[in-house]
Amino acid sequence: MSNENSRRDMIKKAAAMAFASTSLASLTNRVMAHETAVEEKLKGQINHSVCAWCYNDIPLEDLCKAANRIGLQSIDLLDPKDFATAKKYDLTCAMVASINKDWGITKGWNRVEHHDQLVTYYQYLIDETSKAGFPHLICFSGNRDGLDDELGLKNSARGLKRIMDYAEKKNVTIVMELLNSKVNHPDYQCDHTSWGVDLCKAIDSDRFKLLYDIYHMQIMEGDVIRTIRNNHQYFAHYHTGGVPGRNEIDETQELYYPAIMKAIHETGFKGFVAQEFVPKRADKLASLKQGVEICDI
């Protein structure tokens, strides 16, 4: 081969390499731009979470990956067996679950005959929550079942006080959820903010607070923003949901979540707001992303 042909071959190879390098750089830039668009940081005034049970048909690993893309920092209502999965994706569990085959929403702290077993169960959950470094553990009043509200509150305070020293020692806050008894949880006792606040006052511990579920309390009493402003010191956590229906929190329902989030932020709240609506649309993760964006004031 002549020197001239060798020179031409070298020029061609150099040009091909330059083209490949340019193409790779262009592709890399496009991928990075796409990832930035998908993983754009949220504004930081609200800490965002999502309740795992609303996405039971999505494997937890996939939900955690989606949470990372959307910008969530937490997955709510996980059992201890699932803590490692959340941590694998650098997610916390801002509210640990406490429902098993024996205990749950209908059967809780408002009956003295439940206390011994609940104390044992909650000591285990407090240990697991503390070891994981998570902040909050949910609890429930249970149903009235003929029990008047005054005695139900007295019983609940009596039982919960038995675990408060342990929760304080382990830096875990026990949080009772406010739920509606009109649509979803008939006969549930902790169904008004005033009852929950009175329970907080009776227990008198910084390690006992309320989960203010915006969906549930809109159904039971409305006046959401005023209630948040007047009682925020008792609220450790918030849940969302569209009213009516408990679906997407967009223009299809009656609550205006940007104003509610603004009110929460103005109280100085540093905890988490978790999306707890049940998506109606086929693309459930798109609905989740939309809900987070609506609340990201």
Enter the tokens of residue 5: 């042909």
Collapsed DSSP state (helix, strand, coil) of residue 234 = helix
pLDDT at 9 over 70: no
Please give the model's pTM, rounded to 2 decimal places.
0.87
Going through 52-117 in order, the beta strands assigned E by DSSP cover 74-76
SS3 content of the chain, % helix, strand, coil (to 5): 50, 10, 35
Structure tokens at 181: 């008894």
Residue indicated by tokens 């048909």: 57
Q: Using the predicted structure, report yes or no on whether residue 13 has a pLDDT greater than 60.
A: no
Q: Among 178, 174, 191, which Cα is nearest to 239's?
A: 178
Distance between CA atoms of residues 69 and 66, nearest Å: 5
Mean per-residue pLDDT for 131-154?
A: 98
The predicted structure's pLDDT at residue 79: 98
What does the DSSP 8-state code read for residue 241?
Answer: -
The pLDDT value given to residue 41? 84
Q: Say whether pLDDT at 203 is over 70.
A: yes
The answer to whether 138 touches 211, Cβ cutoff 8 Å, is yes
Q: Which two tokens stand for residue 102?
A: 């024996």
Neighbours of 93 (CB within 10 A): 28
